[in-house]
Amino acid sequence: MVAHSKGNRTRSRNLLKKSPRERGSIPSLSTLMYDYKIGDKVVIKINPSIHHGMPHRRYHGKVAEVIGKRGKAYLVKLYLGDKEKVLIVSPEHMKLFK
């Protein structure tokens, strides 16, 4: 009997899957170069082809608020239940909330 692995991307086959035509592609430069301001609302949308700065899959689809910048990445604050979480997320995994 092989032990069940409990990694960061376990049970995420459908969640972190791209369509065949999208596979391997990186986001457009305009999305990477967008400068988020403090107070902006963003959606955490994980891009599975870029592993650097990827948040945990439990935050996929959540709306967060930008509270700072750390290098190229951003500090975002969100609530999970009644707990406040602060994440360091790369801009490849964020999208402006409309």
6-44 pLDDT per residue, tens: 988 898 889 989 999 988 888 788 888 899 999 999 999
Length of the chain as a residue count: 98
Under the banding of pLDDT at 50, 70 and 90, the label for residue 60 is: very high
Name residue 24's amino acid: G
Higher pLDDT, 28 or 78: 78
Interacting residues of 22 by C-beta distance below 8 A, sequence separation 6+:
none
Do residues 67 and 77 lie in contact, with contact meaning Cβ atoms separated by under 8 Å?
Answer: yes
The reply to whether 2 falls in a domain is no
How many domains does one find in the chain?
1
Question: What pLDDT does residue 26 have?
Answer: 82
The reply to whether 22 falls in a domain is no
What's the token pair of residue 94? 């964020």
Tell me the β-bridge partners of 32: none
Query: Which CATH number fits the domain that encloses residue 90?
Result: 2.30.30.70
Question: What pLDDT does residue 87 have?
Answer: 97
Name residue 3's amino acid: A
